[in-house]
Homo-oligomer: A and B are copies of this chain.
Amino acid sequence: MDSTRQPDLTRQRILEAGFAEIHRHGFQAASVANILADTGLTKGALYHHFPSKKDLGLAVVDEMIGIGLVERYIRPLRDAAHPAQALIELIGMKQGISEEFIRLGCPLNNLMQEMSPVDEEFRNRLNRLLSQWQEAFEETLRRAQMAGEVRSEVNCHAAALFIVSAWEGCTGVAKNMQSVEAFRACMSQLQGYVVSLLKT
């Protein structure tokens, strides 16, 4: 039996259940009781590892959403040998889009829309992730620009901001329409925008 104490593992379980609950209901409507029910733990455990519900939420942002963002979207761009191609492929999204993701939306976008006007600390943490993402796009565009693939007059910073914004917009609208097709159609238009930045 390894039913011995494994504090960092229980912490991780709380984080995962917290992420799922927040993804489903948003942060404010997320119920601590539900998180505990999912994990089989009790309040003693949660409030031992996290001072408050808000701290749990912030930890979910950093340790779940942030890490996922880097692994899924940022690192593939940084590691890409051919930046322009990698960017277009990433927006193409060969990787299966889970139904769940369409139904519940992008966790980062969800929390931004909900928490930004309400709590400065949330806003700052979320904004940090957003900036990382934007910078990854900007860096990729700049690399492609230096490689002569992107037109020299393109403002990479503004273009990167727009890509992030449009991406989140596409996921948001697709969530409302509950339509994977709409998402693909929308992202396809975004792909067209990126292509329009390339040299002919």
Contact = CB atoms under 8 A, between A and B. Distances in A.
Contacts of A28: 26, 28-29
Interface in A132-188: 158-159, 161-162, 164-170, 172-178, 182, 185-186, 188
A48 to B, nearest CB: 27
A25 B115 CA distance: 9
A103 B119 CA distance: 12
Nearest to A131: B177
A35 B28 CA distance: 19
Interface string A12-29: 000000000000111011
Contact of A29 (B29, B162, B166, B193): B29
A195 to B, nearest CB: 10
B161 A186 contact: yes
A87 interface: no
A168 B161 CA distance: 14
A176 B114 contact: no
B178 A26 contact: no
B117 A24 contact: yes
Interface stretch (A2-10, A75-83, A105-113): A105-113
Interface in A63-109: 103-105, 109
> Which 9 residue pairs of A and B lie closest in terms of their CB atoms, listed nearest first?
A169-B169, A162-B189, A165-B169, A166-B166, A113-B113, A165-B173, A112-B176, A116-B176, A168-B169
